[in-house]
Structure 1
Amino acid sequence: MDYHPDTLGGVQTAVASLCRGLEGAGHRVTLFVAPMPGADAPVRDDLAAREIVELRPFAGIVVNGFAMVVPTARDNALIDAVFAARGPVDLVHTHTTYGVAIAGMKAARRHRIPLVHTAQSRDDSFIEHTSPAPYASALALRALHGRFVPHTLHMPHRAESRAARHAWWTIAGQAQASDRVIAPTRHFAAELLAHGLTKPLDVVSNGVDDELVESDSAAAYSERGEHDSLRLVWCGRLSREKRLLEAMEAVRGVPRCTLDIYGDGDLRSDAAALIAENGLADRITLHGSVTRREWLAAAATADALLFTSYGFDTQGMVLLEAVAVGLPIVHCDPVLRESVPEGAGRLTDGPSAVSISETLADLVAEPAALTKMRAALDGCGDTVRQSRQVAAVLDLYREATAPPTVDPPAVPRTLEEVPTAPGALPLVGHSLRALRDAPAFVTSLSELGPIVRIYFGRKTGYLLTTPDLVREIGLGDAEFNRDDLREAIEDVAGGSVNVLRGAEHKLRRRMIAPALRQSRLSEYTAAAADIAETWSAGLPGDTRVNLMDEAHGLILDTVSSTLFTADFSAEARRAIRDNVPWLLGQVILRTALPPQLRRLRVIANLRWRRKARHLRGVIGEVIAEYRRRDEDFNDVVSALIRHTDPETGARLSDEHIIDEAILMLAGGVGSMASLAGWLWHEVMLRPAVAERLYAELDAVVGSEPVRPAHLPALPYLKQVVAETLRFWGPWISASNADGEVTIGGLVIPPGSAVMFSPYMVQHDRRYFAHPDVFDPDRWSPQRAGEIDKKASLSFGVGRRRCLGDHFATLEIALASAALLARWRPTPDPDYVVRASNRDFVLSPSGLPVTLRPR
């Protein structure tokens, strides 16, 4: 909600009432709001316990008395942190069209949580009443809103001003971006549909907080008596769209009429001046802001509510409150008759002060009319209580959160039936969109169908969105190649196993496998444990460090030490540290860009080739020395050099071994370091997870050095590693069809890219409950049976499955155990961790922390 709950307004009142109703029904509600005007930046402490979370104001800007919020990365990080601290979040419900609501919409999409939107805002009327330049203001609002929310609906032309039409793009656009829409009244629902809304729409009235409307109101009503004057009350924000001055002018024209005004706002000084200039102090009183209970007590003893809003309110909470306390209503807007019980109100002939005065004069002359209105209100109070409305809202929530009951869409039979992902640009296709925000891009595709067409430059790709289709190609007989990737990395590792095809690929996998057998893995993991323990012991306490830099260094040292243990390989390890991270950071960009654009990066290409030559040269010198000495150093290079394929008698050349060594190094820094970083990040975000890990490590490891033998006794750490692999799986994997490939009955033409996204599948609620909640317990023995194992795709499938998957999980576990057994990392509260897609596994942009000894 874009208003602080302590400010005055109908939306604030409606949302507060709904929150109390939901909490009364046993649900937990967290309210994200704009801060009070002039407030400092929000704090981040005790996120799990906070029920109201203030987002950051934008440059101190205040619009109509409310702090302006623009969705930023910092606010996104705060929302994500609250979601993480609170545990599973089932649904996001927005109520406005501005920055906080947009941030909520983006959070729902980011976490793949159902989004419900209640359309409360009449931006069109607000702008036309309050802006000195309505058209320019509405156009600017539409442009700013469209920067964050896609305006995908088709809006029919209607008889309305240009300013109103632009404003309706924000109203209807925000609703169209949600999964379900609520309108508080039938007339506003009709307006939404008339402006192009196609999303499911329900009419559910706002409600009055039950606790505020109790028997004392009925008692006050019974004490109303006959008076010589007509005692009116007016309540709302003192702003032009509420038409307070028109109400005061109308009362001025009826001598036997008084008006008590409750509320505050920009028109307070104008209202006070009107009272003073016309000598109305004995008839019109400005009470200022009061509590809701005080307002309802005043309403319960008045003769009628004067409600002068026209063309602005979608429903009007004050109208509902008047009904709740049995207060007759005088109103100007015919569409609001829907909220006024039959016979309980009087509609003026028009919105002008003169028309209002005429209606008030009639009521002064005919007091029996008020008696009839009060009689018409008997028994109506219960109909507007929040408890009557919350059941309908909860029913809608259940429908929104229920898993799909319809059969999934069938695989298209022809290429023409395959949907194309939106957002492609000339020349580059979807490349820029994917590079800009890979998680959002891939997770938006599953709802389009089981196969989705995407473009990278002039290359056509078909992305598979279901694990069954992914396994069909991974375990089938169709031949694929990775020529695009091979071309992109040709200077560095263009002959490595991950880009080979056919028989050559099968042979290389057979020849690499012995280096990763269980007998050798035990030696590698022992070395990895020693390196991790030495690394952890050398970290500086009570000092700010970047754990991502540390992760890259640790993983590179670990992988390079398992590759080369000989004492003459120090220069190679230095070259690896100096060159591999930068080279890896270029791979995604070189792969995603079309060759013609890639060639334009002249300086980057020169640096790429220079670093590749140096790295290959240094590693080649080490391999040559290994061959000269002809010893087994119990490392990967020794195993690769000494292995002979039993079926063919083939042996790996130096160039082949260089390719595979660089591939293993790239996998280390690109995948294992990133996954280790994400694990530490998730643990720091979640105190409950951290405390369980610390307790387990204290019980099993204690003050001893971490050893591989500890791992079987650390089941919760194993669950955290498994959940990290699921939560932060690779965002893309691609191969090219060597010939025609049939997938689910659809024939894919030769040369097409066939892709899948482990990240997307592993964040799909069809396969994982609450997929955007980091929940290590989903892997516990009690719950592991709920998981569809086919949907776990982080290490690939079939012939392309990563050969080093077991060692990778062991290394991440050892590194994490070594760090967390000794240290309690505290994240920098001012740093926003972003997901960088510089590799196939998303990487934390940084993890600045202070390490506290445990």
Structure 2
Amino acid sequence: MHVALFTDFHPATLGGIQTSVNALRRGLERAGHRVTVFAAPTPESTEPDPDLVVLSALTGVRVNGFAMVLPTPDNARRIDAAFADRGPIDIVHVQTTYGVAIAGLRAARRHGIPVVQTVHSRDDAFIQHTSPAPYLSALAVRLLHGRFVPHRKSLSHNGESRAARQAWHTMVNHARAADRVIVPTEHFADRFRAHGLDRPIRVISNGIDDELLDRARAATATATADDAKPRGSAADFTPETAGPLRVLWCARLSPEKRILEAIEAVRRTPGCTLDVYGSGDQEAAARAAIEAGDLADRVRLHGGVPQLDCLTAMAAHDVLLFPSVGFDTQGMALLEAVAMGLPVVYCDPDLAETVPQGGGLRTRDPSVASIAAALRDLAADPAQLIPMRKALSDHADTARQSRLIAQVTAEYTELTAARSDDGAASLDGIPTAPGRLPLLGHSLAALRGALPFVASLAEIGPIVRIYLGPRPAYVLTTPELIREVGFGEAGSFHREELREAMHEVIRGASNVLSGTPHELRRRMIAPALRQRRLAEYTVVAADLANAWADALPADRPLNLVDEAHRLVLDTISATLFTADFGAEAKREVRANVPWLLGQVIQRAALPRAVRRLRVVANRRFAAKSAALRGQIAAVVAEYRKSDRDFHDVLSALVRHTDPETGARLSDEEIVDELILMLAAGVGSTASIMTWVWHETMRNQDIGDELRRELDDFVAAGPVRPDHLVALPYLRLVVLETLRFWGPWVSTQTADGPVTIGGVTLPDGAMVVYSPYLVHHTERYYPAPETFDPDRWFAGRVEEIDKKAILPFGVGARHCPGNNFAVMTITLATAALFARWRPEPDPGYRVRPTTLDFVPSPAELPVVLHRR
């Protein structure tokens, strides 16, 4: 099994979490598993570690002395690259709740890998003890965490402070994002349950690395100096041999650990010494307390030391002092003391779960006075330590990592087996996007900024749940999952809801058909879009582009969005039906198709009940739809009567007979397909065309290169069909525009249960995918927010995963008019920029609208100057 461990502490730094993670890693490796560790950096030089991936930290920012990492796109790229380079990862095991752990969660969701989280520490207590403004600090952490990990609003009340409640929000929601949660003690598990955690919780103790433990015991066995021997018999405690009570501290020097209280308790206890192993923020305060109490001969600071030094030091002391309260969930030093047979003085009743009965002494309360009283009692009668050591000896090997590793790997195995047994994971494992509001769901977030909203979902997981009002929808964020749907591997889908929204104007076109009817219809319309026909349409499109460009007004304001829609509508209608008796239909198309298309999009977005309330708009929609269908149906009837080939789309549709079935399209079916082609052109082709113009004007280098190419091949002459292959740079600009401004949403509805990425969705589930999302994911396109036509050059284009190129969809829903659209855009752009130098309005900021499936500029105001 290949396990990815994520921790916010570099393995070479000192601390309980680091010690636990290192022991887990070595235990897994000794058990035959492969481990890759992802961690924060450390400024100190360390030994090279080929299985360690260090993430980028914020420059100059340190928290409690440790580097701070955020789940940035750069770190996501590092993780994804490591996953790709190092082979398949079976389990992601996160060990903290901060930036590295968040990055691990998100990486696991991107790659569909099960997640285990071990929760080591009480962040609520840590913030309470260490922050000058606990509530504000805890709130800031929660808000930052909630930007990356979905947070539920609800949290059970447990009488804690406001600061603690904010911290528990972060801890619980981080745990909810995992598939399995491990905690080291039962009392800590109870706290999570009390705060409403509904994920499976397993209690598995932290462990001590077997090799280190054996080395420490071997060092103890060979020790000869009196101060290096454990005192475990009555002879060791005679007045002649007893000496002072040798107290040991092995922990961080920080407020929550209570080092200052420990020093004060020793000061109040004559005949007692204290050796302090550890470093931290309160080291200076500890030195000051030693000096103020004249304790230099009794309290010694040794600084931070490796775990082996702490273990061997335990053999040379009489008792471990562990005074923290309400912070430690288990305490690595307690486990080490038990393993080395060192009695413990502790204050927190919860820690009795870690200290075996009879193996230590719990103070009456956490006060300094009570700690000092316990130490004085032991100093006065050190023979009490003998039965304590005996009690500990029965538990000396319970914390060996080798004894615990099987419990951890059992959790791994159960999770991976659950994913593979029936190929379907639970719906509960699908993360919900942050920002869901009561009743509205994510609708408000989508309305405020649809493009950044959908782009943000890629980091959450391969499938992300969003809510459109109260209804859930499942967004696919990887091209692999999109292909499962597109190629029918996931199951069957339909578009009945879209059909219902548009049935007055388009009743049964190929975009709303499913299954066998959809396959047959695609075969029936394919001849109209074959290369031979496309060559004929190109002549018409070039003539229209030249005439349009020649007629544009010079030196006065012009909205290129309107011009693009006009040109595309003229081009499509001219290639649909060229016969003279189509003139009235063309006028009807120009007058009503744009308005009808806008209404279709609005109606599709509205719940059925709300749609019915729009009485006036519905009547107008029905009337205009009937008029348009009537005009086009009349043209279809005339074409049938003439039985001639006018070298246009309608001729191909009317005359074609399917060779497999002998079927021919009815007049009604042809009307549906013609209106669909018109709507697609107005809504999508015109939008991409306008974005090509905008990006060419916005990026001077791109505009200059395009004009040079046009000067070389088009010059002052008209644009011709053969220019389509003579303008390679323009082709790159069009390709990059299709990536950068591709469709932002496409939906289908499950026709029965469907299985996508190992997750079974129920009948009727809405499945959403967004080419825009994939096109703006750094995993597939480096620097996705940079408009870079050169990425499509030979030598670079090979780096792009072909599965991630989705501007025209994939599989059965791939747009059949893609070549026609690219042809129209290319010829129009060449005609415009060969003749004109568009000057954008400097006072207008171009903004995308998402009223259609393809984003469109709201306006593109310019003044045209002749070249």
What TM-score do the two structures reach when normalised by structure 1? Answer: 0.61
Hey, what does 1:849 align to over in structure 2? none
Q: Indicate conservation of the 8 Å contact 1:480/1:501, yes or no.
A: no
1:119 is aligned with what amino acid?
V
Is 2:63 the counterpart of 1:70?
no
Task: After TM superposition, give the deviation of residue 756 of structure 1 in Å.
Answer: 3.3
> Match of 2:527?
514
Q: Does 1:305 align with 2:320?
A: yes
Which structure has the greater CA radius of gyration? 2
Alignment match, 1:271: 286
Rounded to whole Å, the distance in 1 between the matches of 2:546 and 2:25 is: 59
Work out whether 1:233 is the aligned partner of 2:244.
no
- Look up the equivalent residue of 1:498 and give its one-letter code: N
C-alpha distance in 2 between matches for 1:730 and 1:291: 56
What secondary structure does 1:124 align onto?
helix
Q: Percent identity?
A: 45
1:505 Cα deviation after fit:
8.4
Displacement of 1:358 after TM fit? 1.3
Alignment of 1:69-108 (within 5 A): 69-108=69-108
| Cα contact 1:469–1:744 (8 A) shared by 2 | no
Matches within 5 A, 1:728-807: 733-734=746-747, 755-757=766-768, 795-796=810-811
1:610 aligns with 2:563: yes
Secondary structure at the counterpart of residue 29 of structure 1: strand
Equivalent positions of 1:666-681 (< 5 A) are none
The answer as to whether partners of 1:640 and 1:657 remain within 8 angstroms in 2 is no
The Cα of 1:141 is off from its aligned counterpart by: 2.6
Post-superposition shift, 1:320?
0.8
* 1:141-152 mapped onto 2 (5 Å cutoff): 141-152=141-152
Query: Once the two structures are superposed, what CA deviation does each residue of 1:318-340 show, in whole Å capped at 9, x if it has no partner?
Result: 11111222222111111111111
1:43-62 CA deviation, whole Å, 9 max, x = no partner?
xxx9xx95222333235322
Deviation at 1:657, TM superposition (A): 11
Match of 1:214, SS state, is: helix
2:31 to 25, 35, 40: 25
Distance in structure 2 (CA, Å) of the matches to 1:219 and 1:410: 51
Letter of the aligned partner of 2:272 in structure 1?
A: C
Q: Deviations over 1:430-452 (max 9, x none)?
A: 7458744548769999999xxx9
1:296 paired with 2:311, answer: yes
Match of 1:380 in 2: 395
User: In structure 1, what is the Cα distance between the partners aligned to 2:166 and 2:548?
Assistant: 58
- Three-state SS of the structure 2 residue aligned to 1:374 is helix
The structure 2 residue matched to 1:645, chosen from 644, 656, 681, is 656
1:10 aligned to which of 16, 29, 36: 16
* Residues in 2 aligned to 1:50 and 1:839: alpha-carbon distance in whole angstroms: 49
| Offset at residue 204 of structure 1 (A) | 0.3
Instruction: Identify the residue that residue 345 of structure 1 maps to in structure 2.
Output: 360
**Counterpart selection for 2:271 from 256, 274, 277:** 256
Q: What is the CA-CA distance between 1:281 and the residue it aligns to? A: 1.5
Question: CA 1:445/1:181 → structure 2, altered by over 3 Å: closer, same or farther?
Answer: closer
Secondary structure (helix, strand or coil) at the match of 2:53 reads strand
| Corresponding residue of 1:709 | none
Deviation, structure 1 residue 618: 5.3
Q: Distance in 1 between matches of 2:83 and 2:536?
A: 41
* 8 Å Cα contact 1:91/1:397 also seen in 2: yes
SS of 1:384's partner is: coil
| Structure 1 equivalent of residue 112 of structure 2 | 112
The alpha-carbon deviation at position 364 of structure 1 amounts to 1.5
Distance 1:6 1:841, change over 3 A: farther
Residue 659 (1) aligns with residue 677 (2): yes
The answer to whether 1:455 aligns with 2:408 is no
Is contact 1:123–1:167 with CA below 8 Å preserved after alignment? yes
Distance in 2, matches of 1:98 and 1:290, equals 25
SS at match of 2:398: helix
Q: Mark the CA change 1:403 to 1:469 in structure 2 (over 3 Å): closer, same or farther.
A: farther
* Contact 2:248–2:320 (CA under 8 A) maintained in structure 1: yes
Q: Report the CA distance shift for 1:434/1:221 in structure 2 as closer, same or farther (over 3 A).
A: farther
Distance 1:124 1:475 in 2: 48
Aligned to 2:212: 212
Q: Are 1:135 and 2:151 an aligned pair?
A: no
Please say if residues 359 and 392 of structure 2, whose CA atoms lie closer than 8 Å, have aligned partners that are also in contact. Answer: yes
1:730 touches 1:758 (CA, 8 Å); kept in 2? Answer: no
Q: Secondary structure at the residue paired with 2:279? A: coil
The aligned counterpart of 2:257 is: 242
Alpha-carbon shift at residue 619 of structure 1 (Å)? 6.4
Taking the aligned partners of 2:269 and 2:473, their CA distance within structure 1 comes to 73
Partner of 2:553: none
Going from structure 1 to structure 2, the CA distance change for 1:613 and 1:291 (only over 3 Å counts) comes to same
Residue-by-residue CA offset, 1:563-603 (whole Å, 9 max, x unaligned): 86769949859999xxxxxxxxxxxxxxxxxxxxxxxxxx9
Distance 1:321 1:666 in 2: 67
Answer whether contact 1:438 1:837 (CA < 8 A) is retained.
no
Gaps of 5+ in 2: 1-6, 224-228, 237-241, 428-435, 550-556, 581-645, 658-663, 689-741, 755-762, 782-807, 822-848, 856-867
Matches of 2:78 and 2:818 in 1, distance apart? 33
- Note the C-alpha offset of 1:205: 0.3
Q: How big is the shift at 1:394? A: 0.5
- Report the secondary structure of 2:107's partner residue: helix
1:674-719 CA distances to partner (integer Å, 9 max, x unpaired)? xxxxxxxxxxxxxxxxxxxxxxxxxxxxxxxxxxxxxxxxxxxxxx
Pair 241,113 (structure 1): closer, same or farther in 2 beyond 3 Å? same
The answer (yes or no) to whether the contact 2:71–2:99 under 8 Å persists in 1 is yes
1:545-694 aligned at under 5 Å gives the runs 569=542, 607-617=560-570, 644-646=655-657, 647=664, 656=674, 659=677
Q: Tell me the SS of whatever aligns to 2:378.
A: helix
Q: Residue 345 of structure 2 aligns to a residue in which SS?
A: strand
How far does residue 754 in structure 1 lie from its aligned partner after superposition? Answer: 7.9
The alpha-carbon deviation at position 7 of structure 1 amounts to 2.4
Residue 370 of structure 1, aligned match among 373, 382, 385: 385
Who is 1:200 aligned against? 200
CA offsets, 1:250-292, max 9 Å, x none?
1112221111111111111111122222222221111111122
With the length of structure 2 as denominator, give the TM-score of the two structures.
Answer: 0.60
Deviations, residues 478-503 of structure 1 (Å, cap 9, x unaligned)? 9675576899xx9xx99985379999
Deviation digits for residues 369-428 of structure 1 (CA, Å, limit 9, x no counterpart): 2222222222422210111111101001111222356897999xxxxxxxxx98763794
Aligned to 1:281: 296
C-alpha deviation, 1:312, in angstroms: 0.7
CA distance in 1, matches of 2:466, 2:173: 26
Cα distance in 2 for residues equivalent to 1:33 and 1:285 = 32
CA-atom RMSD in angstroms: 5.7
Shift in CA distance, 389/572, structure 1 to aligned 2, threshold 3 Å: farther
Verify: 1:326 aligned to 2:326, yes or no.
no
The alpha-carbon distance between structure 1 residues 60 and 409, as it changes in their structure 2 partners (threshold 3 A), is closer
- CA spacing shift, 1:481–1:319, aligned 2, 3 Å: closer
Distance 1:730 1:424, change over 3 A: farther
8 Å CA contact retained: 2:492, 2:752: no
Q: Distance in 2 between matches of 1:400 and 1:477?
A: 33
Number of aligned residue pairs: give it. Answer: 624
Bigger drift between 390-399 and 343-352 goes to 343-352
In the alignment, is the contact (CA less than 8 A) between 1:795 and 1:805 conserved in 2? no
Q: Which amino acid aligns with 1:63?
A: V
Structure 1 residue 609: deviation in Å?
A: 3.5
- Contact 2:265–2:369 under 8 Å retained in 1: yes
Alignment CA distance shift 1:563-1:137 (3 Å): farther
Counterpart secondary structure, 2:330:
coil
Per-residue deviation at 1:72? 2.3
1:355 alignment counterpart: 370
CA displacement 1:479-532 (0-9 Å, x = unmatched): 675576899xx9xx9998537999998997455323577xx6xx99xxxxxxxx
- Pairing of 1:108-187 with structure 2 (within 5 A): 108-152=108-152, 154-187=154-187
Taking the aligned partners of 1:20 and 1:358, their CA distance within structure 2 comes to: 41
